[in-house]
Homo-oligomer: A and B are copies of this chain.
């Protein structure tokens, strides 16, 4: 491939990209309207252009369509969420109990993202001292899908209150595939610039985290 000039990204694009990053949200309230399958496939294709260690492309995307499988995922969440609630006390527990933490029952599209830890692709490059970079590569693919979905007006919610071993059993995925993320995808009921957990009084944005530390 010759050394060709890349597309010129201008100020208007950079502003829109900053808006996209700011307006990406973890969405848990979905309209029931369907999402075109071709669009979902296009988003996954774009996600597969994400960076990966050694160009290993270890991501595996599984759509969960079977109602009995979706029900098993919902049960998985309920059990984990009950345990999570039990670990909080007092006001924090009351607040936790009121949080809306997933949109599993209404989201028209469910996608599980897994990481094939046994892939020969990439020939192990870059993984020797940091094998976790294989999973990190899958995370960059998930994040790419998330941003691309938002650019289409779609909302994505990442559910992590789940038992990963149970997900593997429910989806009958190979034992060498690590579960990374469970994504609910659909048209959002509402749009917000601030995170849901901030509106709910759980955790505000912390400005100081954006400070560069110098060494």
Contacts and interface: CB of A to CB of B under 8 A. Distances in A.
Interface of A: 1, 3-7, 9, 13-14, 16-24, 26, 40-41, 44-51, 53-57, 59-66, 69, 80, 83-84, 87-88, 92, 96, 99, 101, 111-112, 121-130, 132-133, 135-136, 139-140, 142-144, 146-148, 150-153, 158, 160-164, 171-172, 180-181, 190-195, 197-199, 202-206, 209-210, 212-215
Nearest to A92: B123
Contacts of A171: 215
Contacts of A212: 40-41, 44, 61-63, 111
- Please give me the 7 A-B residue pairs with the lowest Cβ-Cβ distance, nearest first: A48-B210, A55-B203, A139-B139, A55-B197, A6-B191, A1-B194, A140-B143
20 contacts: A3-B190, A5-B191, A7-B23, A9-B151, A13-B151, A26-B51, A53-B160, A54-B197, A55-B198, A59-B209, A61-B212, A62-B215, A65-B215, A69-B215, A84-B128, A123-B202, A129-B161, A136-B181, A139-B139, A140-B142
Most chain B beta-carbon contacts within 10 A, residue among A164, A171, A197? A197
Nearest to A140: B143
Given A60-B213, A140-B143, 19 more contacts: A4-B192, A5-B191, A7-B16, A9-B153, A16-B16, A17-B20, A21-B49, A55-B204, A57-B205, A60-B209, A99-B125, A101-B126, A121-B203, A128-B161, A129-B160, A129-B163, A136-B136, A139-B143, A143-B144
Nearest to A196: B55
As for how many copies of this chain the complex holds, the number is 2
A94 B140 CA distance: 30
A193 B193 CA distance: 33
Contacts of A5: 191
Given A136-B180, A171-B215, A197-B54, A147 B17 contact: yes
